[in-house]
Structures are given as C-alpha cells and as structure tokens.
Structure 1
Amino acid sequence: MIEHLEELILEILIRLPVKSLVRFRCVSKSWCAWIDSQHFISLHLQHSINTQTNLHVILSDCENKTDHYSLAFDEVFDEPLTKFNNVFTSDKGYKIVGSCKGLLCLSYSIPKNERLILWNPFTRRYKKLPTARVSKLRLSPAYRYGFGYDDVSNDYMVLKLIPSYGLKSYRHIGNEAEVYSLRLNSWKRVENFPYSEFKFLRSACFVNGSLYWLVYFESYRMEAQDFESPWLIVAFSLEDEEFRELPLPSTSNKDDDLKYLGVGESYDFDLAVLDGCLCFLKIYDSNAVEVWVMKQYGEEEFWSRLHLLIPDGFYDSDESGFVKSLAYSKNGEKLLLETQQKALIWYDLKKSDNKVYTFPDVLPYFDANMCFESLVSLGDGSKYDGSV
C-alpha cells in the first residue's frame, strides 16, 4: 500500500510547476531530499518534454536588454507577461544565445570583456562561467556560441567560436574554438579546428546531441576552392566532440547563393529548432518562408518542406528578413512563429485564420526562445538572484 501511495505521489509531483515543487520541499525532510534528487529532477524534466507541459516562451527586450519576460506556452496567450527578477546589471544587457533542457545560456561580449552565464529562470539561480583562454588571434566582439547537453556524460556544454579579423584589411582571417563543461567547470581548446576559414552565422541550434551552425565560405576565397556552394551546415557532436557537414536542402543552388550574396532579389537563411528537429529557413523578401524540417539524422538526411506566408503588416521587406519557428501546437496543426522581433504568430497549417500577438506597451521589439521549467542544478558556485 505504501509503495502504491509513493508511486501516486510521484506521478502527481512530476506534473507540477517548479514554483509548487520548491514550496513542497518544506513539507518534510524526505520530500525535500526526494525533490532535490537527480532522479526526480530528470523525471520531472523528461515528463515536461514528453507532454509539452511546463513550457514557456521567454521574451527578451531588444531595447532594454536587461529585461526578460515569461509567457506560458498556449494556443491563446491571454495571460499577462511575467517579468523575471533583473539579476543582470550590465547596462548593455545579456543576450540569450541558447536554451536547453531547462537552462538558458546568456552572453555579454565586447573585446577583452566577455561574460557568459548559465541561468535557470524558474529556480532563480545562475552561474557565471569562468573566463575562457585568451585567443592568440585578434579579438573580435562577434563571438558565436552553442549551448547543449550530452546525455552520455550528463553534462551541459558551451562551444565558443572566436572569429578574428586582419588589423588593416578587416577581413576575416580565422576562427578558434573552445568548449566549456559545466560538470568540470572549465574550458578547453578544440584542437585542429577544421573550419577556421568559414564564417559562422548567429548562435548554434542544439538538436539530438549535436550543435548545428549555418556557415559560409567567403566569396573572395571561392576561386581557390572546390566548392559547389559556399554554404554548409556544420554539426558538432557533444559526445565525441567531432565535426561533420550537412548540405543545405536540395532546392538551394549556386544561383540562390549568388542572390543572397548580392546579385538579384535577396533573401535570408537561418536555422531553428522545431519539435526536437533541426529546421532550415529560407526567408524571401516577399513575406514567403520555406521551412525545411530534418526528419532523419545520420548519413542520409531527409528534409520535409512547409511553405508559409506571413500575414500582411508583420513582415517588412525593407528590413532584414527575420522569421523564427518556435514550436508546434500540441495537436500539431499550428506553428508558433516569431517575426521581425515584434510579433508572435500562431500559424494555422491548414487554414488561414492566423492569430497574431504583439506587446507594444511592454515589448515593442523582442527576441523569443522556448524554455521548459526545470529543477536542474547549476552545481557549486551558483547564486540565487542578486548582482552578477
């Protein structure tokens, strides 16, 4: 009878939000030990991921970058925004560069003054990462980051790319790479980094144990290289720390690449994560978007395509194209998009009655990321709110 009662309690507790679980730690010493155990933390997080519950859209203010808000994931965003305590005191603010299994990675990077933070916004704990090794190349503020989790070593990891530029030409001259381990709380250099001459765009996407970047080889170097296209998707496995390459979906060809690089009508490329799958987005200046979703991983990648048309008024072709896929609805019939950093759109994949949400009084411009509530610990050296 007692065993059945404990199983019932466990089934109830793994469904609860973090705020309730933190409060229930005070019920007894045994409940506290239970909720704090790695086994329970893993069960709670995995249940949330499997059922798409305890999921939030994290909105970061693009104007006042120290402010971050939470919006409970729902097909009807009728609840008010919840503002997080401002624990990031820099006037410049911190940018979210990755979200993974209940943690966020934030960066504030200027030459010779880099700061990285891992943050659990629901337990209100954060950890400032130690300073990485100083690059031997000329430092650039345009660092690129990837944040993910290795199931084998049970470790959260950050991959940092350091692009550098010539002192006189200001041309890109190379990259270095370093990997941070939360379990070891230390950095190490990636030896023989194979993509020194490529440019890495934005931050990486974490999918299925690997970090994925969209990269390109600059046009002025193309003549000396045997490339069919300057564009590649580069994957970095967190388990074995090996790189591999993936071609873009087959619709991309050399003419398309030339258009992107300035010949003819332009559009943008990007990567995103959707329902645990890697997505390649091809964003036209006519408010049309192709979303290619990778359904199979390994030597033979398989992409499936969605064709979207952003509603009028929420895509400005005069600005740089920006559309980001965030999540499917629970029934899979709608797709949540962020457009131009000013609107969330529930895009109906079967009908045309899309729902648009803006927050002009609080967040006229924002950056959106998905994050599950979790009890994941940041280990020794973590802090509870306060100044960074």
Structure 2
Amino acid sequence: MQGSIKTRLELPEMLVLEILSKLHVKSLIRFRCVCKPWSSSFETPHFITKHHRNNLKNNNLNLLIKRCHGATRDDIHYFSQLSTEKDQNFRVKHNIHLPFFENFVHAPLVHGPCNGILCLAEPVVGHNVALWNPSTREFKILPQSTVQRPPGLEYTSFDRLGFGYDSQTDDFKVVIFVSNCFTWENEEGMSIYSHSIDQVELYSLKSDSWKEISFSGVDGYDSSLFNNYVSGFIYWQACTVDDLILSFDMVNEKFSTSPLPEFGGSLEQYYLDLLDFNGFLGAIFYPREGTNKSFDLWVMNGSWTKQFSVESILGAERPLGFWKNGELFLESSDQELVLFDPSIKELRNLGIHAYQETMRITTYVESLVTLNGRLEHEEYIIRRPAEGESN
C-alpha cells in the first residue's frame, strides 16, 4: 500500500495579504522573517493603508497616558501604555520614558495621533521635535530648520505647533509658529524686549525639510487635548479673538478662521478644548470654577450642533478624551483617572494616579507607517514592563 500523499493548500496571494492586514503590528513585524515577499508587501502604501483602515473599521484603539508621579508638576513626565483588553481593566503594561526630552519642564508636548503617528515637541522655548510610531516603535528626530531668521535676535521661541497628514501627497507635515524676540536699549538705557509671531514654518516628512509659509497674522492656542488634527485640518483656538477658531488646511497649506459655537457662555467662564469626534471637529466646554463640573460637546458638521451635555459629575475635575461608545476619560479631584459612561451615568475609578493636571490621554490605532528614523533606543526612549508595579 502506498504511503499517504500529503497535499499542500496554496492560498491566492491577495487573500493571504487580506488576512494579514487584519493582524496586529507586533505579529506583522514577526512575520517579516517568514519570507521576503511578505516583508516587502508590508511596506507598500496599499497594505499600510488597508491595515490602518481595518483597525479604524474595527475600532481597535490603543491607549497612552502621559503623566507625572513627582511631588510637583515640574518633575519628569513619562508615558504609560495601558491594556485595552476588557478583562485587564486598563492595567499599565509599559512605562515609557523619553530621555531626549527630559531636560525640559513638562516635556514633551504631544500632538496627534495622525494615522497612528505622534508628534513630540519641546515646550515653549526650543526646537526639538520628533515623530514617533508607538506601534512599530520607530522614532525620528526632525532636522533643524534652515529658514532664515531676522538679524539681531535675542532668542527664538516656538510657541504653537500642529501636526497632520496631507492625503494628496501622502505626506506628514508639522507646522510651527515662530516668535522672534529682540532686545534693545531705550534712551534711558533700559532694556526693551519685543516678542511677536513673525513666521510660520512647515516641515515635510517626505522631503525631510522645512520651509516658510505665509501667515494670516492670527495666532492660535494649543488645545490641552492631543488630537486637534481632524480630517485634513489642524485647529487651534484663536489667541487674539475669543470667538474664532484658527484652522490650517494640510493640502493647500492655507490658514482660515471660523466661528465657535454659540454655547451660551464666555471663555472667561469656560475652558475650551478642540478635538476629533468621530471624524468631525468637536468643541468641549466645561466650567473654570466650581466643584461640580458639567461638560458640553458641540460638533461641526456643516454647522455647530450640541451633541450632548453631561451635567454635574461630582468629583470630576476636567475631561481628558473620549473612549469607545462615547465613554469619557476624566481626571478626578483626587488626581485619579476615571471613566464616565454617559448612557448609564456611571463613574468608574481606574486606579491610575498622577500629579495634579499632568495627565494627558491619547487614543490611537496601530499603523505600519514608516518614518525613515530608527527603532526605539535608550538614548531617546526607554520602555519598561510594568508587571508588579503600582499604577
């Protein structure tokens, strides 16, 4: 009797890639060693886009929290990667320190996510900016700008930053407002300082270079939330006019302004944060004073409409961002991370602590986007498992 004949099932290449595009980045990085065609396919724009869209469609969110555990808000800030599995209840998986930014107070400021990429920047004074893909663990330090500055500068300050994606050219861009600061002596011999927004500079990842762009003359406040990039535009609250939003179109590289919603109050009484809410620009308002906080969310879809109101959450201090199914992360008055479910009005303590007003939340979907940088290295990023550690 002849031995059994083993058959080999060959799947069409397109079907194989379709299956692979649904996997986590960690698995795909391992599978690069399986065969060269797979490794090459994972780097194509088509596969990268399909993989990212699958994650968006399935709402496969990842969660980072930036915080400080010290005795003051000026102590070293770091990230914690939280588990998003239901049975693990937002347990801390990794603590991530960034030595590249640790010489700067509150560092780094974080912008994004944009297609799974975060932009990290030295706050207020300086020009250290980096891009980071926390899924592939790739880190790229942006080159110094070569844009000419006016002569006689005392120093240059980089006060506002935006980060987004140009879908037309498949390019990631960083926009920075540059303040040029001069000093001179008046007739009495006193030193006089001048400080103004004189330039706006734009970085392109594709060209790996900076250029100067035209500027409307209206500066913008950074939102305390991370994600003020929404569907091809970056948004800021206008500095000089309280009832305007400043926006930047990533494709045509132009600034414009639009009105805030008529929310029934003034920005002297309410904080404002701009954010991405399901692909639309959202504006969340909450009182500056008082212990019982209410939160109003307005959404721009052709015109401003109030999406919902959450009234008087006892013990809540400020919003940090949205989770799945409209759940809202909040910082409590005890400086703990809590999750509020508006459908059942339930507040759940997640057991994660930080110094007052140092917590920042960002949610992102995994991405295979390459930055032409380098893998995480202890000179820039230190990632440690948090097993056995307190939150």
TM-score with structure 2 length normalisation?
0.79
CA distance in structure 2 between the aligned counterparts of 1:148 and 1:76, rounded to whole angstroms: 34
Q: Letter of the 2:304 partner, please give it.
A: F
Map of 2:301 onto structure 1: 295
Report the Cα offset of residue 249 of structure 1: 0.4
How many pairs align?
349
- Asked if 1:195 corresponds to 2:211, the answer is no
- Quick check: 238-247 or 173-182, which moved more? 173-182
* Distance change in 2, residues 1:180/1:89 (3 Å): closer
Can you list the C-alpha shifts for 1:32-84, whole angstroms capped at 9, x where unaligned?
2222322211111111112211x211111235545222124466752521225
Map of 1:323 onto structure 2: 319
1:281 to 284, 302, 305: 284
Report the Cα offset of residue 195 of structure 1: 2.2
- Asked if 1:147 corresponds to 2:160, the answer is no
Q: Letter of the 1:146 partner, please give it.
A: G
Pairing of 1:36-51 with structure 2 (within 5 A): 36-51=43-58
1:83 to 77, 91, 94: 94
Map of 2:385 onto structure 1: none
* Distance change in 2, residues 1:206/1:3 (3 Å): farther
Map of 1:338 onto structure 2: 330
Map of 1:114 onto structure 2: 127
CA distance in structure 1 between the aligned counterparts of 2:247 and 2:332, rounded to whole angstroms: 27
1:355 to 329, 337, 348: 348
- Asked if 1:11 corresponds to 2:22, the answer is no
Report the Cα offset of residue 179 of structure 1: 0.6
Q: Percent of aligned pairs with the same residue?
A: 26
Report the Cα offset of residue 153 of structure 1: 0.4
Can you list the C-alpha shifts for 1:185-210, whole angstroms capped at 9, x where unaligned?
0011112x1125x4534477111111
* Consecutive unaligned residues in structure 2, runs of 5 or more: 1-7, 70-74, 184-190, 381-391
CA distance in structure 1 between the aligned counterparts of 2:76 and 2:173, rounded to whole angstroms: 24
* Distance change in 2, residues 1:70/1:8 (3 Å): same
- Asked if 1:31 corresponds to 2:31, the answer is no
1:386 to 359, 378, 383: 378
Map of 2:275 onto structure 1: 272
- Secondary structure of 1:157's counterpart equals strand
CA distance in structure 1 between the aligned counterparts of 2:280 and 2:337, rounded to whole angstroms: 20
CA distance in structure 2 between the aligned counterparts of 1:268 and 1:281, rounded to whole angstroms: 8
- Secondary structure of 2:340's counterpart equals strand
| C-alpha contact (below 8 Å) 2:175/2:200 kept by paired residues | yes
Report the Cα offset of residue 311 of structure 1: 3.0
Pairing of 1:114-133 with structure 2 (within 5 A): 114-132=127-145, 133=147
Map of 2:237 onto structure 1: 214
Q: Letter of the 1:205 partner, please give it.
A: N
CA distance in structure 2 between the aligned counterparts of 1:351 and 1:44, rounded to whole angstroms: 34
- Quick check: 146-155 or 90-99, which moved more? 90-99
- Secondary structure of 1:118's counterpart equals strand
1:157 to 163, 167, 173: 173
Can you list the C-alpha shifts for 1:238-258, whole angstroms capped at 9, x where unaligned?
1001122110002356xx25x
- Asked if 1:95 corresponds to 2:109, the answer is yes
CA distance in structure 1 between the aligned counterparts of 2:122 and 2:129, rounded to whole angstroms: 7
- Quick check: 354-363 or 148-157, which moved more? 354-363
Can you list the C-alpha shifts for 1:85-141, whole angstroms capped at 9, x where unaligned?
545344334231332111110011464x42000011121111100112364366454
CA distance in structure 2 between the aligned counterparts of 1:208 and 1:23, rounded to whole angstroms: 32
* Distance change in 2, residues 1:233/1:106 (3 Å): same
- Asked if 1:174 corresponds to 2:190, the answer is no
* Distance change in 2, residues 1:31/1:336 (3 Å): same
Report the Cα offset of residue 31 of structure 1: 1.8
Map of 2:252 onto structure 1: 240
CA distance in structure 1 between the aligned counterparts of 2:217 and 2:97, rounded to whole angstroms: 37
- Quick check: 286-295 or 152-161, which moved more? 286-295
* Distance change in 2, residues 1:270/1:363 (3 Å): closer
TM superposition outliers: structure 1 runs of 4+ over 6 Å? 168-171, 361-364
- Secondary structure of 1:32's counterpart equals helix
| C-alpha contact (below 8 Å) 1:283/1:289 kept by paired residues | yes
- Secondary structure of 1:9's counterpart equals helix
Q: Letter of the 1:325 partner, please give it.
A: G
Q: Letter of the 1:80 partner, please give it.
A: R
Map of 1:220 onto structure 2: none
TM-score with structure 1 length normalisation?
0.79
| C-alpha contact (below 8 Å) 1:147/1:211 kept by paired residues | yes
* Consecutive unaligned residues in structure 1, runs of 5 or more: 218-228, 261-265, 316-321
- Secondary structure of 1:22's counterpart equals helix
Q: Letter of the 1:216 partner, please give it.
A: C
Tell which structure's C-alpha radius of gyration is larger: 2
Can you list the C-alpha shifts for 1:214-234, whole angstroms capped at 9, x where unaligned?
1131xxxxxxxxxxx643101
- Secondary structure of 2:50's counterpart equals helix
Q: Letter of the 2:307 partner, please give it.
A: R
* Distance change in 2, residues 1:201/1:41 (3 Å): closer
